[in-house]
């Protein structure tokens, strides 16, 4: 039932404003792909072009080997779950779910069978005779998903379907969506600006920013080997710390960076010749790679400005003598308090190096992979 | 604390006072006074004489009243559905904003601004025999002339056409406002659900604006039962009273024949009819809503 999706050189303009430029992307059959990016980067627009709700200004979209961007929405074999759910307010839950099947002239018994089956899966069988106004937010959400399931589409499209739920429900629904995908094995595209949703649900994440795709990769690739400074900064909570590089020198063992008051670090980073070893370079380091040294130990001096005791770990937002901010992690049992002086140690092999143009370099394999 | 709260609540009522006074003076009082009048034989001179429901009996037995009632019922039964259907059609056709639709919306609404005198003047020019617009067109096509304002049947029809033209702006605007309230994503979901235009209209659009359809219908029923100016100015109720509406009957009885009590009785009957019509519509429509 699932089908691959091929997006080729797709461009979208609103008047003079280009929202998406030359986007290309292949999605395998049965894959769960998440479009991740800040608000306004064009995620919904791209999804709606797959659905047929927006016209393309260039490029093509194939679904299961058939070109669909010239077909009307209903003929594409996709189902969409809207952020607002878009349930028909005067129809019952059963009518909402069956409407699409009625429209293609399916027999009543077949519709009833599919609706009942989907309602059982989603545990909304007892709600079938209710109108949407009499449902809670979470129940409406299930109906919207049910309306998509009964169509047995080649691909599911989700536009921020969890953003109207409260935190607890969001977590649970996220899990259920993952289970649903595992069971149906359908191709799914899921749009979100929430990186936790993206990290937990996706087979692959498509990070979008500024009209373009910044990076496509598995959640771990995106986190461990961000292709650009933007991706590194967008993914990960608390955010990666960025420090300016005063000077850098490429030696036989790798790059040595002078981080000013954060010290001089010898890394195993190898740089392609094209990148100038000085000027506009920055490094990024994640909080878990910056540790607070126990009292008496040796490290970079900093001042803890905010300390968050989270139980399993302690987050320390510190300021270096030259004014730069850095986030560090300490043991969960730490009794550290804000305002105290701490010593920090940076893991030199966990550094990400950012060139002036935003490209990122990493230690393990080195080089550029954007 | 509690004392000042209670007092301030009482004082809040003062804000409603201007309205209540106006309401009482111009609606409640005339209604009661009208009812009181309808129980008396009153003319211009003297205080009047109590006659009980005599006026009502006389009015109901009056063939002129019955004719006027029938005329009015026919008029309401034809103009109101036309206004609702045509208003809805125009609103659906103009429910997207371009320069052309903005102009057309303005055009269709413009007639509502005119006074009844101007409206009837315009339509007399259209309908009048020999030199009227329709007469010229019929001449050109070689068709037999119709005396639109002077033939039984056609005269009420002509008044109806002028009325629809005059009143179409408000229904259209109300429907447009209701259509704008329907979320776009309902239509998008319907597109993904393969709904054709007819299914979208009957399953998405009409159910969503049902309350407005009811509102427009009630407003129009109340308004069209009170038909007067157009009939008075276009046909003067003729020929042979075939286009005389109830309000015109009331006017003639009260201010030409000076039988004020009887006119008041006819007014009370009209009031009751309008009230019942509006209530029935409301009850039927809201019961349907629960059933579906
Ligand atoms: N109908 C429209 N007309 C003009 N601009 C639009 C329209 N829809 C979206 N945009 C613009 O396109 C950009 C991308 O929008 P969208 O795809 O909704 O972003 P996202 O879903 O990533 O938040 C935004 O800058 C938005 O302002
Ligand atoms: Mg969006």
Distance B187 CA to ligand 1 centre (A): 19
Here the CATH number for the domain that contains residue A98 is: 3.40.50.300
ipTM of the complex: 0.86
* pLDDT greater than 90 at residue A275: no
Closest by Cβ to B186, choosing from A80, A88, A104: A88
Give the torsion sign (CA, A89, A94, A96, A102). Answer: negative
Q: Where are the alpha helices (DSSP H) in chain A?
A: 43-51, 93-103, 108-122, 137-149, 167-184, 195-201, 219-224, 229-234
Give yes or no: residues A221 and A278 share one domain: no
Contacts of A147 in chain B (CB under 8 A): 189, 193
Give yes or no: residues A228 and A262 share one domain: no
Give yes or no: residues A20 and A157 share one domain: yes
Residue A45 Cβ < 6 Å to ligand 1: yes
Tally of domains within chain A:
2
Number of the ligand closest to the Cα of A211:
1
* Residue B256 CB neighbours (<10 A): 9
Here the CATH number for the domain that contains residue A303 is: 2.40.50.140
Residue B161 tokens, joined: 């056409």
Q: pTM value? A: 0.84
Name the band, by pLDDT with cuts 50, 70 and 90, for residue A278.
Answer: low
Give yes or no: residues A155 and A280 share one domain: no
Residue A16 Cβ < 6 Å to ligand 1: no
Residue A198 tokens, joined: 């993206």
Please report how the helices A93-103 and A108-122 are oriented relative to each other, as an axis angle in degrees rounded to 10: 130
Residue A57 tokens, joined: 């200004």
| Domains in chain B, CATH or no CATH each | 61-291 (1.10.3720.10)
The DSSP bridge pattern shows strands B40-41 and A204-209 to be: unpaired
Which of A215, A233, A251 is the last residue before a domain boundary? A233
Give yes or no: residues A159 and A245 share one domain: no
The answer to whether residues B38 and B265 touch, using CB atoms and an 8 Å cutoff, is yes
Buried b (16+ CB within 10 A) or exposed e, B97-118: eeeeeeeebeebbebbeeebee
The answer to whether residues A192 and A38 touch, using CB atoms and an 8 Å cutoff, is no
The per-residue pLDDT for A79 is 95
The per-residue pLDDT for A366 is 41
CB pair distance less than 8 Å for B207 and A90: yes
Residue A74 tokens, joined: 């209903």
Q: Where are the alpha helices (DSSP H) in chain B?
A: 2-23, 29-38, 54-61, 63-93, 99-113, 116-127, 133-141, 154-167, 169-180, 184-192, 197-199, 206-208, 210-224, 229-234, 246-251, 260-291
Give yes or no: residues A174 and A35 share one domain: yes
Contacts of B199 in chain A (CB under 8 A): 103
Residue with tokens 């009785």: B265
The answer to whether residues B176 and B212 touch, using CB atoms and an 8 Å cutoff, is no
Residue A140 Cβ < 6 Å to ligand 1: no
Which of A186, A212, A233 is the last residue before a domain boundary? A233
Per-residue pLDDT in tens (0 to 9) along chain B, 292 residues: 556 666 667 778 888 888 889 988 888 888 888 888 888 887 767 677 888 888 888 888 889 999 999 999 999 999 999 999 999 999 999 998 888 988 888 888 888 888 899 999 899 888 888 788 888 888 888 888 888 888 888 899 999 999 999 999 999 999 999 999 999 999 999 999 999 999 999 999 999 999 899 999 999 999 999 998 888 888 888 788 888 999 999 998 888 888 888 888 899 999 999 999 888 888 888 776 654 4
CB pair distance less than 8 Å for B191 and A52: yes
CB pair distance less than 8 Å for B192 and A73: yes
Give yes or no: residues A72 and A211 share one domain: yes
Give yes or no: residues A181 and A304 share one domain: no
Give yes or no: residues A150 and A250 share one domain: no
Closest residue of B to A95, CA-based? B203
Closest by Cβ to B192, choosing from A51, A88, A90: A51
Which of A233, A266, A300 is the last residue before a domain boundary? A233
Report yes or no: B201 at the A interface, CB cutoff 8 Å. no
CB pair distance less than 8 Å for A104 and B195: no
Give the model confidence (pLDDT) of A138-182 as tens digits: 999 999 999 999 999 999 999 999 988 888 888 889 999 999 999
Give yes or no: residues A158 and A30 share one domain: yes
Name the band, by pLDDT with cuts 50, 70 and 90, for residue A8.
Answer: very high
Give yes or no: residues A111 and A146 share one domain: yes
Number of the ligand closest to the Cα of A14:
1
Q: Which domain holds residue A261?
A: 240-369
Give yes or no: residues A158 and A293 share one domain: no
Taking the C-alpha atoms of residue A81 and residue A157, their distance in angstroms, rounded to an integer, is 6
Residue B148 tokens, joined: 């639109």
């Amino acid at each position: 039932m699932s089908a691959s999706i091929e997006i080729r050189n797709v461009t979208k303009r609103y008047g003079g404003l280009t929202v998406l430029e030359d986007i290309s992307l292949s999605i395998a059959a049965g894959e769960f792909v998440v479009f991740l990016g800040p608000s306004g980067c064009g995620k919904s627009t791209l999804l709606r072009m797959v659905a047929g709700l927006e016209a393309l200004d260039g490029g093509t979209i194939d679904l299961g080997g058939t070109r669909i961007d010239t077909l009307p929405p209903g003929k594409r074999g996709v189902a969409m779950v809207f952020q607002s759910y878009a349930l028909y307010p005067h129809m019952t839950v059963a009518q909402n779910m069956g409407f699409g099947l009625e429209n293609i002239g399916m027999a009543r018994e077949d519709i009833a069978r599919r609706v009942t089956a989907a309602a059982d899966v989603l545990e909304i069988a007892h709600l079938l005779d209710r109108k949407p106004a009499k449902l809670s937010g979470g129940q409406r959400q299930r109906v919207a998903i049910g309306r998509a399931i009964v169509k047995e589409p080649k691909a599911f499209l989700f536009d921020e379907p969890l953003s109207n739920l409260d935190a607890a429900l969001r977590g649970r629904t996220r899990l259920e969506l993952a289970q649903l995908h595992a069971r149906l094995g359908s191709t799914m595209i899921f749009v979100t600006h929430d990186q936790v949703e993206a990290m937990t649900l996706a087979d692959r994440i498509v990070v979008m920013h500024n009209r373009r795709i910044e990076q496509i990769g598995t959640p771990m690739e995106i986190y461990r080997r961000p292709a650009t400074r933007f991706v590194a900064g967008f993914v990960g909570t608390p955010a990666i710390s960025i420090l300016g590089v005063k000077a850098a020198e490429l030696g036989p063992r790798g790059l040595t960076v002078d981080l000013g008051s954060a010290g001089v670090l010898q890394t195993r980073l190898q740089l392609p010749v094209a990148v100038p070893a000085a000027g506009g370079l920055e490094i990024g380091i994640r909080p878990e790679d910056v540790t607070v040294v126990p009292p008496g130990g040796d490290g970079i001096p900093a001042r803890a400005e905010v300390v968050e005791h989270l139980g399993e770990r302690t987050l320390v937002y510190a300021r270096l003598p030259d004014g730069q901010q850095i986030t560090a992690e300490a043991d969960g049992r730490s009794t550290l308090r804000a305002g105290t002086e701490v010593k920090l140690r940076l893991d030199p092999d966990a550094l990400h190096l950012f060139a002036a143009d935003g490209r990122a370099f990493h230690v393990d394999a080195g080089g550029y992979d954007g | 604390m509690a004392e000042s709260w209670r007092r301030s609540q009482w004082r809040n009522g003062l804000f409603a006072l201007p309205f209540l006074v106006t309401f009482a003076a111009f609606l409640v009082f005339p209604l009661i006074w009208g009812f009181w009048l309808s129980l008396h034989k009153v003319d211009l001179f003297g205080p009047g004489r109590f006659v009980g429901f005599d006026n009502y009996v006389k009015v109901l037995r009056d063939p002129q009243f019955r004719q006027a009632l029938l005329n009015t019922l026919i008029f309401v039964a034809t103009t109101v559905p036309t206004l609702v259907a045509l208003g809805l059609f125009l609103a659906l056709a103009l429910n997207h904003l371009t320069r052309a639709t903005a102009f057309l919306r303005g055009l269709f609404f413009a007639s509502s601004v005119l006074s009844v005198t101007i409206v009837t003047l315009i339509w007399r020019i259209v309908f009048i025999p020999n030199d009227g617009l329709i007469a010229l067109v019929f001449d050109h096509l070689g068709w037999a002339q119709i005396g639109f304002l002077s033939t039984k049947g056609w005269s009420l029809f002509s008044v109806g056409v002028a009325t629809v033209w005059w009143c179409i702006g408000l229904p259209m605007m109300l429907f447009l406002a209701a259509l704008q309230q329907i979320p776009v994503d309902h239509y998008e979901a319907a597109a993904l659900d393969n709904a054709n235009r007819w299914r979208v209209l009957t399953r998405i659009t009409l159910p969503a604006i049902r309350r407005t359809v009811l509102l427009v219908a009630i407003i129009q029923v109340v308004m069209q039962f009170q038909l007067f100016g157009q009939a008075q100015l276009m046909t003067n109720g003729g020929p042979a009273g075939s286009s005389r509406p109830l309000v015109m009957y009331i006017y003639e009885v009260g201010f030409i024949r000076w039988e004020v009590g009887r006119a008041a009785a006819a007014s009370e009957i009209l009031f009751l009819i309008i009230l019942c019509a509006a209530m029935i519509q409301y009850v039927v429509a809201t019961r349907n809503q629960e059933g579906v």
